[in-house]
Each structure stands twice: as C-alpha cells, then as structure tokens.
Amino acid sequence: MAEQSDVLIVGAGVAGALMAWRLAGAGARVTVVEAGPHVDRGAALQRFERSAVRVPEAPYPMAPYAESPATIGDSYIRQDGPDPFRSTYLRQVGGTTWHWLGTALRLLPSDLELQSRYGVGADWPLRYSDLATWYDVAESELGVSGHDDDMFGPPRQTPYPMPGLPAALGDRLMAQSAGRLGFKVRVSPQARNSQPFDGRPACCASSSCIPICPVQAKYDATVHVRKAEAAGARILSESVAVRVDVGPDGRVTGLLIRKPDRSETRLETRHLVIAAHAIEGPKLLLMSRSERFPKGVANSSDAVGRYLMDHPVQLTKALAPVPVWPRRGPQEVSAIHELRDGDHRRHHAAFLMNIGNQGWEWAGPNLAALAKGFVDAGLSGSELLNAVRSHASREMTLVALTEQLPDPVNRITPDFDRRDVIGVPKPRVFFRLDPYTATALAAARKTHEQLFHAIGATDIGHLPHAEGAGHIMGTTRMGTDRGKSVANAEGQSHDHPNLWFAGSSLFPTSGTVNPTLTIAALALRTAEAIKSAIKQ
Amino acid sequence: MELLLRSGVTVENLLDLEADTYRGTPFEKSLLDAWYTGVFKPDGSSEIRSFDTTLMWRAAGVDPPPSTCSGGPESWASPPSNI
C-alpha cells in the first residue's frame, strides 16, 4: 500500500512552503511535490552573468519536464486571445519568489469589497479584518522592512519586523514635486532585510533582485522550504503532478506524479493542497477530467481556469534633469498610492505607480544597447564616457500596476494537442484587456507625464503595449456563490472537502499590489483550517 | 580580440582615445563595444565574455555591477562615491 500523508502539497513556492512548514511543525505528515528542480544560488548567479539577455528567467535553466513561459520567444503557452498574456513564472523549488521584486504591500480593505463599494468586479468572501492578523504573521515570516509612520491604508496593529529602507535618489527627486499634484512618494514595505534577520544578511545593494538576490537578503520561498524540511516535511522535487484522484465519497484520495523518466507514482493523502500557481494549478484540475468529472476535478462551477487576471503594466520612461544614479539598490524602492482607491474605480481601474530604480533596463534601451549605440555613432574616449554617464545616470521610469476585473472568458485550459517531453499538456490562455483596464492604462500615461513634467524631465516615452507584471491571479477563485467560484473563504474546495487551494489563484479580484504578501497571509490562514480538519 | 578584452583596460585608459587618433573603423568599434558591453561577437554570434570588468557599469556609476554586493542599505541613498 502506498505511503499516506496527512497533507500533500503541490508546489514548493511561497504558499506551499509556508503551509508545509506550518503543518509539519504542528505534527502533520507533510509531503510537497514540486515539478522543477532545486536551484543552486551560486550556479544561478554565474548563469545570470553569462546571459546575453538578462530576462527574469535568465539564471534558471528550464527543465524540459517542467517547462515554464519565457519572456522572449515563448513556446510554452499557446495564446488564444486578442491580447498576449505576457507574464511568466518559474517551476522550481522556491517558485517564482526566486525572481520577485520583494515589494510586500497589503491589499486595501476596499480591494476586497470592489462590488459592494463601487459596483464592479466581485467581493471577496472575507474582509480585511479577517486577514489583518495573518498579514502580521506573514510579515514576520517573510521579514518585511517598512516605515510604520508612512502607510497608505489602514493603521497597522503591530510594527514592521524591521525598520524601513531609505528612498532612492530618483524617489527623492520625484517627492519634491509630487505634492503639487496631490501625491506623496512613500518608501514601500519590502521583504528585503534592512538589517540581519532570521539568519539572512541585510540588503547589499546588488540591484539584481530580479532575477536573483546574491545573498538572500530578499526573501524567497527556499527559506520556508528549509524550515519545512527541518520540521519533518518531505520535499519531492522533479515530480510533476499529472492527476488528482477522487474517491466515491467525493473526497480526494491521492495524486499521480510523473518523473522526468516518465515513471509514475501514486501518492495517497488525507488532504491535498494545490499551491501550484494560477496556471499550473487549474491545469492540473482540468487535466484530471474523467467520466465522473468530465469538466475536471473541483469544477462543478465551471470556474476552474477562468477569471485569469494580471496587473497590466503601463511603463513610462524619461530622463531626469539631474543625475539620480539608478541601478544601485532595489529595482523599485518607492511608490505613489493615491490612485489605488477612490470613486474613479466605478469607471476605470485603480493603479499603483512604482518609481523605478533600474534605469531603462526594462523600458529599454538597456545599458549595453545604449553604450553600443554611442559606439556605433562614432563616439570614443571621454566623449563616449560622458555620453553613457550622462544618459544612464538620469534614466527614470514610472511603472503603473493596474487592476484588472475578473472576466470569465480570460482563462487557462490544458492544450491536449501540445504536450511537453513527458507527455503533459501545455497551457493555452485566452486573454483580453477590457475598457475598464484600458482606460486606467491611459490615465496612468497621463499621470506619468504630469509627474515627469513636474520634475523637469525630458525624453518622456511610453511603452506602447501593456506589459505583464508576473502577478497571475484568479483561476480557482474563492467566493460564497458555489456556482461562480471554486473555493470558500478558507481556501477549501466547494466540491471536495479535503481539497484546498493556496496562492493567488484564490483571488476574486486583483487590487493593485503584487500578490505575494497576500498569498502568504491566505496560506497561513488556510493552514490553520487544515490543522483543524486534520484533528476532526 | 579576446586577449584585448581581457587586457585590463579601464575607462580612464580609454580617455586618451580621442578623435584625432580614433578613426572609428569597424574593428575599433567592435573593440570599444566589447570593452564597454562585454559582448564578443566571433563569427557573427553573440557571447558574453566579461561581466564585472565591463566598462559600461563604471561609466554609469554602477560599480561593482549588478549581482555583486556594493554596500549596505544606505548606499543607494547618495550618489556613487567613486565617480
């Protein structure tokens, strides 16, 4: 008979790692299966430095048995919709936290009540007060640096675990003029150490948060993978989940995993947690279709895979009137929050404006292309040096993350006609931006121009398309209406009482901040519910 | 070309390379490009042959380059000290 776990978790990213640590620490027999491999930080750093194109996934070799989307030349996701879905993610132990930026903002209370306050989108099945305590715990676990006296949103119940980080020079320049437009520049809370914390060093200003922090001053989920293992959890890497099994009583009984050599093993469990991000998680459920469940597991609502959301990004670049010396320190340090909430949400999406501190590396041309351009133009000697220095030292960006409404046509499904090397269907995605978000993108362009004009910037230019933020949300959403959602407020499947979800796939709406801190808070909250269920 | 790339050239060395001696031939441009960007292009392909000695970082005030520790959390709050 196969070995049985109390809790089997699919995915060793931030949600899965935190739950594994929490549940194993409570005495549960926990197994985590992760499609991808373990990552060696030193090897990843070397790979990053050798990369001709330093995209977020550059340090991480893609395992053929655990493919993931590529920023350039992607062949993993089949794009079906009118707008390309541009976000990527990593399948490896630690998940996408390997290359997240580290900003650790909370959602606003209104973000969870979009329908009842503004008549659009949906409400969450829980309120901010249900999450506040778990945000506190999440901030302690991830290690968040923040300024207690400079928050946008509800007052904090507890101080941040660490003092806040200093503003970058570009932030300070922007702050001098933003007030005239009714805005305030605030240093963002970040899961990045401002002092040694939890055995990890303070930020050393390597300015490579995306794609890799060389010293783990920025939190990544391998922190809690290690803690989970120390608490007794078993981590099975290079193990691709391919089918969820359900017994005649409607309870999940186990999971079939496939190894790189195509061998298969069935794992039995009392509780199953899907913590495999908002693309691979629903794909697994939809792949698990059968005669009894023709729409897939946990999908009586037909909502699995639907309501896919991102934070479409409006990126605007400019040259500051004076040097602000970017590319030193975190790639974004501060942000402007005022348009995250307000009555405008009845008509167009809210947005958060981050102030970039990485030059034009994302907006382009990057530094190498800039230098090459000056060389090609015939510059040399001090002329070349001064040209590179003058331009690079003044490069600024504003990066607006816009809210996207949940739209059932935006969805991920398994592409049964396209399979990877071990025979697992690749994803196909239908994605479109609606006028609610498109109007906000236009508003962001206008506001960015006002902010840049206010500081006397020149060479202002907008990226002509909305970039993906890498914030993939909404495909197994929670809700009170069983006909339109997949899970309840505890992350528990409506259809199968011992099937749970953890991660941004649970989000009914997106808000405007990166999802990681909320993922962590929800996962810790769901772990408590599972603990109670195990005892019953 | 590769030996030249690894010859320890600095931004300061190149300041002597003024217009009266520099003619901007394709070879000279490819050499300058390689020194500045670290991209070496044998046979039309494109390879990174140097990273931390690449001159563009120093020129941009990013010294050491990204992925290398350069100071504590206060270091980005003031202009680079080595410019």
The ipTM value here is 0.89
How close, in Å, is residue B15 to chain A by CA atoms? 4
Maximum separation of any 2 CA atoms in chain A, in Å? 77
What's the average model confidence in pLDDT over B24-52?
80
Q: CA-CA distance, A490 to A524, in Å (whole number)? A: 10
In order, the DSSP letters of A330-375 are -SEEEEE-GGGSSGGGGTS--EEEEEE-STTTTTS--HHHHHHHHH
Which candidate, A361, A328, A307, A272, places its Cα nearest to that of A33?
A272
Q: CA-CA distance, A390 to A459, in Å (whole number)? A: 13
Which candidate, A59, A499, A489, A464, places its Cα nearest to that of A276?
A499
What's the average model confidence in pLDDT over A208-237?
98
For residue B47, pLDDT over 80 is answered with no
What are the phi and psi torsion angles at A218 (to 5°)? -85, 130
Binary contact (B48, A169; C-beta < 8 A): no
Q: Does A382 touch chain B (CB under 8 A)?
A: yes
Q: With 0-12 CB in 10 A as exposed, 13-18 as middle and 19+ as buried, what is A528?
A: middle
Question: Rg (Cα) of chain A, in Å, rounded?
Answer: 23
Binary contact (B79, A48; C-beta < 8 A): no
pLDDT of residue A2: 62
pLDDT of residue B16: 67
Is residue A130 helix, strand or coil?
helix
For residue A478, pLDDT over 60 is answered with yes
Q: CATH topology for A4-535? A: FAD/NAD(P)-binding domain (3.50.50)
pLDDT of residue A409: 98
Q: Are A185 and A140 in contact (CB under 8 A)?
A: no
The per-residue pLDDT for range A488-515, each reduced to its tens digit, is 999 999 999 999 999 999 999 999 999 9
Q: How far apart are the first and last CA of chain A?
A: 24
**Strand A30-33, strand A234-236: pairing:** parallel
Interface of A with B in 34-93 (CB under 8 A): 45, 48-52
Q: Does B13 touch chain A (CB under 8 A)?
A: no
Q: Are A212 and A48 in contact (CB under 8 A)?
A: yes
Name the H helices within A399-493. 435-454
**Strand A425-430, strand A411-419: pairing:** antiparallel
Binary contact (A328, B56; C-beta < 8 A): no
Tell me the pTM: 0.96
